[in-house]
Structure 1
Amino acid sequence: MKTTFISTYSLLNSPRSSLVRMQADAARYNQEIASGRHADVGLTLGGRMSQAVSLRADYDNLTAMIDANSRTRTRLDVTVEALGTIRAMADEFQAELLSVPHAQRGSEVIRNAARDKLAALIGSLNSAVDGQFLFAGINSGVQPINEYGAGSPNKNAVDAAYLAAFGVTQADPGVSDISAADMANFLDTAFADLFFNDANWKANWSNASDAVQRSRISRSETLTSSVSANEMAIRQLAAAYTMVFDLGSDKLNTDALQVVIDKATELMGNAIAQIIDLEAHMGVAQNRIDTANTNMEAQKKILATRVGDLEDVDPAEAKVRLDAVLTQIEMSYSLTVRLQSLSLLNYL
């Protein structure tokens, strides 16, 4: 039988050498309990790490798309609200035109109502969210509709067309001499060209783009997420309000005034029907975004589960391991203290 000698020095330093490793293990188990993931995912997964990275990338892409949809949904909500306001004002004005007695149709009340509705229409069309104008199409950084007032291009164009057609301004007493036939011809030609001719509309009224914004709401879906101020319904409303407000309706004779009222009523009816269609289209877009978000949230849950299967640790198991390591550390400390107390003097 062979014996070997173990020095006190060796016994003293043996627990110390393992103590560093156990302290590192304790720190790792603490981290895993706190985070719920492996402390070193790459070391644990090895070759499966690429799968975890791919799953996390898919998860992050879905999260980014849902966040983008939230902003798109906000724009749609404000757009639908603005369209609802525009339609409500149009309904109200059309009711006023139909209900006001014939003798009062050129009154200041009706003209003021048309002026206020035109200003409100322009205000709604110039709505913005986060500095982006909703009705400007892809030119979202530019105010889509010019204000109507003295010196503005749209007001100047109306005044010039009126003077060219009748030889008088809207404030001239000679307005009363304009015949119904001449007024009808003016509304269908020179006046209509100011609103329904693309070049004139864009030169005098609109800075918006015909092309509207499209948004990707999922990996496979895109949709139209804005309305352009160049829509025909918008032009018809602007034309109706302007003709009642600024064609000298307070001075027109009864027959000419009736032509204006009839034309305005016709335009209002057409515009309201088209505004309803636009609201419905935007409503469908809202529902599609909600559906896409619901589907993507479900996909995120599946991805989170798959990532968890790869990266997550069992907290209970990690706690057991931590407790075991802490026990070993305490034993190591105790043993070190006992060894330090050993001395030959105790045996002499």
Structure 2
Amino acid sequence: MKTTFISTYSLLNSPRSSLVRMQADAARYNQEIATGRHADVGLTLGGRTSQAVSLRAEYDNLTAMIDANSRTKTRLDVTVEALGNIREMADEFQAELLSVPHAQRGSEVIRNAARDKLAALIGSLNSAVDGQFLFGGTNSGVTPINDYAAGSASKVAVDAAFFAEFGFAQDDPAVANISAAAMATFLDNAFSDRFFVDANWQADWSNAADSVQRSRISQSETLISSVSANEAALRQLAAAYTMVFDLGSDKLNTDALQVVIDKATELMGGAIAQIIDIEAQMGVAQNRIETANTNMEAQKKILATRVGKLEDVDPAEAKVRLDALLTQIEMSYSLTVRLQSLSLLRYL
């Protein structure tokens, strides 16, 4: 028979060495209860870790895309609101032109209305969200439309065109002598060129780009998410307001004034129809974003479920393990205290 002696020192340090491991396990179980995930996913999953990482990357990509769509939708919402305001103002002014008696069409009231509508049009086209101008096209960092005021490029260009055509300024009494035919020629050529010849429009009025922004709204979809201030409809409105406001309508004879009113009404009618089409396009874009977000949210739920099956722990099970471990730690502490109290002197 062989007898093996175990020292008091060995008995004392045996629970101490296991105590460190148990404390580490307790910390891990606490973390799992708090997070609902394995404390060390890589250690637990082993070869399946790459699958969990891939699923999480796809989930994060969908989340980022939904966040980007939220910003895109905000821009679209403000754009649609601005277009609606522009259209409503055009409707109002067109109704005013059609309802005002011929004798009052050159009155200060009508001219002031045209001036105010032009200023409001420019203000709407210069709308911005988060520092990005909505109607700038791809050139969204610069104010799209310049003001129409004394000394501005647009005002100087219109004044120069009028003077070159007739030989006097818009506030000259000689404006009353302009014939209807002469005014029609001016409106269809020199005046029209300031708005509908791209080089002139860009030089006098616009800083916007013709190309518009496109946004990716899902992994397989992109859409147009902005409108350029260079759209023909917006130029037509600017031309209509300007001709009524700043071509001497208060001094024109009845026939020449009628030409101006008819031309402005024609331009506004075409512009309103085109703006409605643009609003419809933006509305379709808004709906596509909502549909894309709904689909991606559904995909996120599926991915979350798949990730959960790989990474999640049962909190109740983890709690049972933690309680059992804490009991073992308490027993280890008790045993350590008893071993520390052992002394040969107590038995002598």
Partner of 1:151: 151
Equivalent residue runs for 1:227-242 within 5 Å = 227-242=227-242
Q: CA deviation at 1:336?
A: 1.4
Question: Which one-letter code corresponds to 1:68 in the other structure?
Answer: A
Partner of 1:63: 63
Partner of 2:292: 292
Determine the C-alpha separation between the residues in 1 that align with 2:72 and 2:266. 34
Deviation string for 1:273-319 (max 9, x for gaps)?
11111111111111111111111111111111111111111111111
Question: Which one-letter code corresponds to 1:173 in the other structure?
Answer: P
Q: CA deviation at 1:140?
A: 0.6
Q: CA deviation at 1:347?
A: 2.5
Deviation string for 1:131-168 (max 9, x for gaps)?
11110110111111110011111111111111111112
Equivalent residue runs for 1:322-341 within 5 Å = 322-341=322-341
- Say if 2:237 is the partner of 1:252: no
Equivalent residue runs for 1:51-200 within 5 Å = 51-200=51-200
Q: CA deviation at 1:2?
A: 3.2
Question: Which one-letter code corresponds to 1:17 in the other structure?
Answer: S
Deviation string for 1:57-110 (max 9, x for gaps)?
111111111111111111111111110110010011001001111110000000
Determine the C-alpha separation between the residues in 2 that align with 1:133 and 1:345. 90
Determine the C-alpha separation between the residues in 2 that align with 1:213 and 1:142. 14
SS of 1:215's equivalent?
strand
SS of 1:189's equivalent?
helix
Partner of 2:8: 8
Question: Which one-letter code corresponds to 1:314 in the other structure?
Answer: D
Structure 1 unaligned spans of 5+: none
Comparing 154-163 with 8-17, greater Cα deviation is found at 8-17
Determine the C-alpha separation between the residues in 1 that align with 2:46 and 2:26. 22
Q: CA RMSD in A?
A: 1.0
Comparing 126-135 with 332-341, greater Cα deviation is found at 332-341
SS of 1:223's equivalent?
strand
Q: CA deviation at 1:245?
A: 0.3
Q: CA deviation at 1:185?
A: 1.2
Q: CA deviation at 1:7?
A: 2.2
Q: CA deviation at 1:246?
A: 0.5
SS of 1:269's equivalent?
helix
Deviation string for 1:215-242 (max 9, x for gaps)?
0111100000000000000010000000
Q: CA deviation at 1:255?
A: 0.6
Determine the C-alpha separation between the residues in 1 that align with 2:279 and 2:294. 23
Question: Which one-letter code corresponds to 1:191 in the other structure?
Answer: F
SS of 2:223's equivalent?
strand
SS of 1:290's equivalent?
helix
Determine the C-alpha separation between the residues in 2 that align with 1:168 and 1:95. 31
- Say if 2:201 is the partner of 1:201: yes
Sequence identity of aligned pairs in percent? 87
Determine the C-alpha separation between the residues in 2 that align with 1:131 and 1:32. 44
Partner of 1:33: 33
Partner of 1:282: 282
Determine the C-alpha separation between the residues in 1 that align with 2:204 and 2:6. 102
Moved beyond 6 Å, runs of 4+:
none
TM-score (normalizing by structure 1): 0.98
SS of 1:288's equivalent?
helix
Determine the C-alpha separation between the residues in 2 that align with 1:262 and 1:167. 24
Q: CA deviation at 1:9?
A: 2.1
Determine the C-alpha separation between the residues in 1 that align with 2:242 and 2:157. 12
Question: Which one-letter code corresponds to 2:57 in the other structure?
Answer: A
Partner of 2:22: 22
Q: CA deviation at 1:5?
A: 2.1
- Say if 2:322 is the partner of 1:315: no
SS of 2:342's equivalent?
coil
Determine the C-alpha separation between the residues in 2 that align with 1:231 and 1:19. 76
Structure 2 unaligned spans of 5+: none
Question: Which one-letter code corresponds to 1:109 in the other structure?
Answer: V
